[in-house]
Structure 1
Amino acid sequence: MIDHVYISVTDIDKSLAFYSEALKPLGWSLFGNYDAASGPDSVPDLYGIADDAYLSGKAVGSSVWLRQRKPGETGLYIGIVCDTNELVDAAYAAAIKAGGTDEGKPADRTYFARGYYAANVADFDGNRIEFVHKAWNPKRHP
Structure 2
Amino acid sequence: MIDHVYISVSDVEKSRKLYGAVLKLLGWREFGEYTAPQGIGVPDLYGFSDKHHMRGEKIGTSVWLRQSSVGASIYLGLVAGIPRDVDTAYAAAIKAGARDAGGPALRDYFGPGYYAANIIDFDGNEIEIVNKSGNPSP
TM-score (norm 1): 0.89
**Match of residue 68 from structure 1:** 67
Whole-angstrom distance in 2 between the partners of 1:97 and 1:53: 28
Does the 8 Å contact 1:88/1:131 carry over to 2?
Answer: yes
**Match of residue 101 from structure 1:** 99
**Match of residue 83 from structure 1:** 81
Aligned length: 138
**Match of residue 8 from structure 1:** 8
Q: Which has the higher helix share?
A: 1
**Match of residue 51 from structure 1:** 50
SS of 1:105's partner is coil
**Match of residue 135 from structure 2:** 137
**Match of residue 19 from structure 2:** 19
Whole-angstrom distance in 2 between the partners of 1:56 and 1:91: 25
Identity of aligned residues (%): 54
Deviates more, 1:22-31 or 1:124-133: 22-31
Does the 8 Å contact 2:9/2:72 carry over to 1?
Answer: no
Match of 1:33, as an amino acid?
E
Deviations 1:34-84 (A, max 9, x none): 11117x62321111011222265433221100011143x521110001121
TM-score (norm 2): 0.91
Once superposed, which parts of structure 1, at least 4 consecutive aligned residues long, lie more than 3 Å away?
55-58
Deviations 1:1-37 (A, max 9, x none): 4321000000011111111011111111211111111
